[in-house]
Amino acid sequence: MNNDKNKLVKKRKKGLETIQNILDISADLFARNGYDGVSLRQIAKYAGIKESSLYNHFKSKADILETLFDEFIKLAPQTRPSDDEIDRMLIFMEPEEIFKNIVFHVGESVNCTLLNTIMIINYEKFRNPRAAEMYYKYVVNEPADYYERLIKKMIERKMVKPVDARTFAEQYNYVSIVLTKEYVMARNGLADMHSVVGYMIKTLKFFCSLMAYEGGDCNEKKKEI
């Protein structure tokens, strides 16, 4: 009985590993060659399985893409510090430190499949309605909501001067989208990683300087209040 149970567990584990491998391979191929430029036969070949076996896990190529989108919706927000973690940072960190912490947290948390899915969304948004929906909802608006919440908390704590939190959040996120593309290029050896990370830090310093009280000393402003 235990042997049967162990076999079932191993079978399920192998099945999950195969599914993840298919997703990883598909994301890489879609990002490099475009969704329409990849066949199920190619995916099966690079995944090391028969094309017929691929259908045991996914109904179609569209099903693979939709699964990648679902994984992105679930996992992308987890690459940033949670709201509870941000609340703890706000107690003992200055704005610039918090933004840096977010940048490095994302860099350490994001994996190749998530990065490739971002690129797929970016490429396919011009012709795929689902990708366009994903782009505006989860690449543009969801991160902007996150940064808006952060900036509003900083304003409430007198850590930065009163600003239009939504506008700042949107503009910061739009620059982050561009830098994410360059980060992917750097991961693929097509750009200098040091330069990309350096520009990320330069960007967050610039936005923090725009939000800083005159003279840049937020601590002194807190004492006055």
What does the pLDDT read at residue 214? Answer: 80
Per-residue model confidence (pLDDT) at position 187: 84
Q: What is the pLDDT of residues 29-50, one digit of tens each?
A: 999 999 999 999 999 999 999 9
pLDDT one-digit tens code per residue, 79-135 = 999 999 999 999 999 999 999 999 999 989 999 999 999 999 999 999 999 999 999
Q: Residue 13 contacts by C-beta under 8 Å, 6 or more apart in sequence?
A: none
Is the pLDDT score of 3 beyond 90?
A: no
Which of the four pLDDT bands, split at 50, 70 and 90, describes residue 13? confident
Nearest to 203 by CA among 79, 114, 82, 102: 102
Percent with pLDDT over 90 in the chain: 82
- 175-209, pLDDT tens digit by residue? 999 998 898 888 888 899 999 999 999 999 999 99
Is residue 69's pLDDT more than 60? yes
Of 9-13, 70-74, 209-213, the least confident: 9-13
Name the pTM for this structure.
0.87
The SS3 of residue 76 is helix
Across the range 212-220, mean pLDDT stands at: 64
d(CA 143, CA 97): 18
Dihedral angle sign, alpha carbons of residues 182, 187, 189, 194: positive
> Whole-angstrom Cα distance, residue 143 to residue 76?
9
pLDDT at 222 over 60: no
